[in-house]
C-alpha cells in the first residue's frame, strides 16, 4: 500500500452547521505535493462540497492563505513533506469571519486597504506634455520591498493586535501606505496620515513582529509600521512647535 | 479619523526603551553585584557630587524618568494584551506611577 | 444560499498558543522589572537627598540577600530587554548608503558597541 497522510480540515456550512467542526481526510502522500494539492485531491475525489479559495498555485495570487498546523501559510507554499508522519490541521485564517469551510470574509481588509489610499498621489498636477515622472534606482530601492505585497492577509492572521482590536488598520495596508509615502513621485503622505497616524493606525501596533515572520514575500510590514511611528512622531512634534497646525 | 496624539506617550516609550537598554544592565551590575561583592563602594560624597552638578542632575533625571515612562507605556499595552482592559484604572496606574516617580526624582534632585 | 459568517473568539490565553507570542510576552513583561528597578533607584535618590546616613542604609539594603535577589531578577530581564530592543533597531531605523540598504547586522552591531561604551563609561565613573 502506498503512503498516505491525514488532513484535519475545519468545515463550516452556514446552511446546516451551527458552528465549525473538524473532518478528517486521508490522501495519498507525494513528495512534490503541497497542501493545496491535497485539498484539490479531496475536492476531486473524496468530498466535492469542500470550499476554499485558490488560483495560481505558485505564491503569486495570494488567495490560498490558511492556518496550517496553527501557522498562517499559503497552502500552495506548504509542502506535505514538511509534515510527513504527522497530521496536517487546516483551518481558515485566524481573525477573519468564516464564510464557508476555508473561505474567509475579507471585507474588513478591503475597506482598510482602500482607506490608506494605496496609489500614487502626485505632488502637483503636471501636463502630459512634460513627460514621465523619472525615478532613480536608488529611489526605487527605498520602497521596492513593500511593493511585493500580494494581499494574502497572512499578516492579519498572525497579528495578535488584529485579534484584539478588529478596527486596527493592520500590517499589509500600513506597509502599502508606507510604500507610497516613500515613493519619490508621491505627495500623498499627509492625506494618508489621517488614517495611518490615527488611533486605529500604527499606534495599535506593539511590534510583535509576527507579520514579517509569516510574510511569504518578505515585505516586512513590521519595519514599515515602526518607521511610520517615527515619522508620525516627528510630524507631531513639528505641529506642536509651529503655529497653524498640520499643513 | 484624525491624527493621534499618541506620540506624546510613544516618544518617551521609545526614548526610554533605548536609555534602559543602554544603561540599566550596567547599573544593576554595579548596585546588585559589584557593590554587594565589595568590588565597588558607592560613597555618599561621590554620588552626591554627581547629583550636585547641574549636568549630573539632568543625566540622573533622564536615566530614571525615561525608563519609567517606557515601562509604564509598555505595561499598559501589555495589560490590554492580557485582556485586563485599557480602562482608566490601568492608564492611571501606569502613567500615574511614572509621573509620581518623575516628580519625586526631580524634587530629590532639586533638594540635593 | 444564506450568509451567516462565523466569528471565532480570541481567547484570553492567545499568547500561549505559539512560541513567538510567548517570547513577545516575556519581552513586554521586562517592563515590569525595568519599572521596578527605576522605582528602587528613585528611593535611593530620595535617601541621597536626606543625607549620608540614610544613603548608607539604602546601599546596605540594596546589598542585602533580598536586595541582591531582586536585582539579579531585574538584571536578567534588563539584559533580555537590551538584546530584544537592539535586535529590532534595523527595522525601525533602516539606513541607506549610496542607494543600498545598510545590513541589519551592522546597525545591531553599532548598538552593541554603544552598549559596551556606555557600560564602560558608567563603570569607570563608578570607580572601577
Domains belonging to chain A, first-starting first, are 4-104 (3.10.20.30), 107-241 (1.10.1060.10)
Measured between beta carbons, the chain A residues lying within 8 angstroms of B14 are: 229-230, 233
Cβ-based neighbour number of residue B16 at 10 Å: 27
pLDDT, one tens digit per residue, over A73-84 is 999 999 999 999
User: What confidence score (pLDDT) does residue A224 get?
Assistant: 97
Cβ-contact B43, B90 below 8 angstroms: no
User: What confidence score (pLDDT) does residue C111 get?
Assistant: 97
Is the CB of A141 less than 8 angstroms away from the CB of C96? yes
User: What confidence score (pLDDT) does residue A243 get?
Assistant: 79
Query: Angle at the Cα of B24 (from C49 to A212), degrees rounded to 5?
Result: 145
In sequence order, what are the beta bridge partners of A114? Answer: none
User: What confidence score (pLDDT) does residue C126 get?
Assistant: 86
DSSP-derived pairing of the beta strands A4-11 and A87-91: parallel
User: What confidence score (pLDDT) does residue A1 get?
Assistant: 66
Look at residue A247 and tell me whether its pLDDT is greater than 70: no
Instruction: Give the residue-averaged pLDDT of A96-104.
Output: 98
Q: Using DSSP, state whether C117 is helix, strand or coil.
A: helix
Look at residue A215 and tell me whether its pLDDT is greater than 90: yes
CA–CA distance, A209 with B101 (Å, rounded to integer): 31
Is the CB of C62 less than 8 angstroms away from the CB of B32? yes
Look at residue B31 and tell me whether its pLDDT is greater than 80: yes
User: What confidence score (pLDDT) does residue C100 get?
Assistant: 82
Interfacial residues of B (vs A; Cβ cutoff 8 Å): 1-8, 10-11, 14, 77, 80-81
> Which residues, in sequence order, are CB contacts of A180 under 8 Å at separation 6+?
A117, A118, A119, A120, A121, A143, A186, A188, A192
As given in the structure block, the three cell numbers for residue A208 are 510583535
- Quote the DSSP letter at residue B48: H
Look at residue A124 and tell me whether its pLDDT is greater than 90: no
Helix axes C19-50, C52-62, angle to 10 degrees: 150
Is the CB of C6 less than 8 angstroms away from the CB of A12? yes
CA–CA distance, A46 with A7 (Å, rounded to integer): 12
User: What confidence score (pLDDT) does residue C1 get?
Assistant: 60
3-state secondary structure A115-152: HCCCCCCECCCCCHHHCCCCCCHHHHHCCHHHHHCCCC
How large is the C-alpha radius of gyration of chain B? 17
CA–CA distance, A162 with A181 (Å, rounded to integer): 23
Instruction: Give the residue-averaged pLDDT of A95-109.
Output: 98
C-alpha distances (whole Å) from A144 to each of A121, A180, B31, B81 are 17, 10, 48, 33
Range A39-47 contact pairs with CB under 8 angstroms and sequence separation of 24 or more: A39/A7, A39/A9, A39/A75, A39/A90, A39/A102, A42/A7, A42/A9, A47/A23
The mean pLDDT value of chain C amounts to 95
CA–CA distance, A231 with A197 (Å, rounded to integer): 9
Is some CB atom of chain B closer than 8 A to the CB atom of A114? no
C-alpha distances (whole Å) from B94 to each of A92, B42, C41 are 37, 31, 18
Is the CB of B7 less than 8 angstroms away from the CB of A195? no
pLDDT, one tens digit per residue, over A19-45 is 999 999 999 999 999 999 999 999 999
> Which residues, in sequence order, are CB contacts of A146 under 8 Å at separation 6+?
A175, A176, A178, A179, A182, A219, A220, A224
Instruction: Give the residue-averaged pLDDT of C77-89.
Output: 98
The reply to whether CATH 3.40.640.10 applies to domain C11-76 is no
Query: Counting beta carbons within 10 angstroms of the beta carbon of residue A245, is it exposed (0 to 12), middle (13 to 18) or buried (19 or more)?
Result: exposed
Q: Which chains, if any, share at least 3 CB pairs under 8 A with chain B?
A: A, C
The model's confidence at residue C29, banded by pLDDT at 50, 70 and 90, is very high
Is the CB of B105 less than 8 angstroms away from the CB of C62? no
Percentage of residues in chain A having pLDDT higher than 70 = 99
Is some CB atom of chain B closer than 8 A to the CB atom of C77? no
Look at residue A203 and tell me whether its pLDDT is greater than 70: yes
Kind and range of the H or E element at A87?
strand A87-91
Is some CB atom of chain B closer than 8 A to the CB atom of A232? yes
The model's confidence at residue C97, banded by pLDDT at 50, 70 and 90, is confident
Q: Give the phi and the psi of residue A24 in degrees, each rounded to 5.
A: -95, 135
Q: Using DSSP, state whether C110 is helix, strand or coil.
A: helix
Q: Which has the closest alpha carbon to B27: C74, A200, A242?
A: C74
Is the CB of B8 less than 8 angstroms away from the CB of A236? yes
Amino acid at each position: 500500500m502506498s503512503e498516505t497522510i491525514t488532513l484535519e480540515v475545519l468545515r463550516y456550512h452556514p446552511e446546516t452547521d451551527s458552528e465549525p467542526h473538524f473532518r478528517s481526510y486521508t490522501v495519498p502522500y507525494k513528495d512534490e505535493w503541497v497542501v493545496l494539492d491535497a485539498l484539490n485531491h479531496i475536492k476531486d475525489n473524496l468530498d466535492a462540497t469542500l470550499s476554499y479559495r485558490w488560483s495560481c498555485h505558485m505564491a503569486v495570487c495570494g488567495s490560498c492563505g490558511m492556518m496550517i498546523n496553527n501557522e498562517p501559510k499559503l497552502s500552495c507554499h506548504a509542502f506535505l513533506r514538511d509534515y510527513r508522519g504527522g497530521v496536517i490541521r487546516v483551518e481558515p485564517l485566524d481573525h477573519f469571519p468564516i464564510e464557508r469551510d476555508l473561505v474567509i470574509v475579507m471585507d474588513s481588509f478591503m475597506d482598510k486597504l482602500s482607506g490608506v489610499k494605496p496609489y500614487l498621489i502626485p505632488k502637483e498636477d503636471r501636463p502630459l506634455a512634460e513627460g514621465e515622472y523619472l525615478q532613480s534606482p536608488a529611489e526605487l530601492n527605498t520602497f521596492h520591498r513593500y511593493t511585493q505585497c500580494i494581499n494574502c492577509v497572512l499578516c492579519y492572521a498572525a497579528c495578535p493586535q488584529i485579534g484584539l482590536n478588529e478596527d486596527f488598520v493592520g500590517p499589509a495596508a500600513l506597509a502599502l501606505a508606507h510604500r507610497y509615502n516613500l515613493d519619490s513621485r508621491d505627495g500623498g503622505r499627509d492625506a494618508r496620515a489621517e488614517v495611518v497616524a490615527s488611533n486605529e493606525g500604527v499606534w495599535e501596533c506593539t511590534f510583535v513582529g509576527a507579520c514579517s515572520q509569516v510574510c511569504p514575500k518578505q515585505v516586512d510590514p513590521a519595519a514599515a509600521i515602526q518607521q511610520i511611528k517615527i515619522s508620525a512622531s516627528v510630524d507631531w512634534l513639528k505641529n506642536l512647535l509651529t503655529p497653524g497646525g498640520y499643513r | 479619523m484624525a491624527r493621534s496624539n499618541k506620540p506624546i506617550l510613544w516618544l518617551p516609550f521609545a526614548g526610554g526603551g533605548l536609555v534602559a537598554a543602554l544603561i540599566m544592565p550596567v547599573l544593576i551590575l554595579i548596585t546588585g553585584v559589584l557593590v554587594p561583592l565589595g568590588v565597588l563602594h558607592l560613597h555618599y560624597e561621590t554620588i552626591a557630587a554627581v547629583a550636585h552638578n547641574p549636568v549630573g542632575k539632568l543625566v540622573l533625571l533622564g536615566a530614571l524618568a525615561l525608563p519609567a515612562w517606557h515601562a509604564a507605556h509598555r505595561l499598559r499595552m501589555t495589560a490590554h494584551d492580557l485582556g485586563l482592559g485599557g480602562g482608566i484604572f490601568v492608564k492611571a496606574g501606569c502613567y500615574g506611577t511614572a509621573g509620581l516617580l518623575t516628580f519625586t526624582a526631580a524634587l530629590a534632585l532639586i533638594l540635593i | 444560499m444564506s450568509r451567516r459568517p462565523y466569528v471565532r473568539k480570541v481567547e484570553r490565553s492567545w499568547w500561549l498558543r505559539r512560541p513567538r507570542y510567548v517570547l513577545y510576552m516575556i519581552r513586554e513583561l521586562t517592563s515590569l522589572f525595568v519599572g521596578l528597578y527605576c522605582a528602587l533607584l528613585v528611593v535611593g535618590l530620595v535617601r541621597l537627598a536626606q543625607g549620608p546616613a540614610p544613603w548608607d542604609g539604602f546601599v546596605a539594603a540594596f546589598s542585602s540577600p533580598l536586595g541582591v535577589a531582586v536585582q539579579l531578577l531585574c538584571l536578567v530581564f534588563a539584559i533580555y530587554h537590551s538584546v530584544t530592543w537592539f535586535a529590532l533597531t534595523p527595522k525601525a531605523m533602516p539606513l541607506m548608503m549610496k542607494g543600498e540598504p545598510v545590513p541589519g547586522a551592522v546597525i545591531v552591531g553599532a548598538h552593541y558597541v554603544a552598549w559596551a561604551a556606555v557600560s564602560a563609561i558608567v563603570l569607570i565613573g563608578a570607580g572601577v
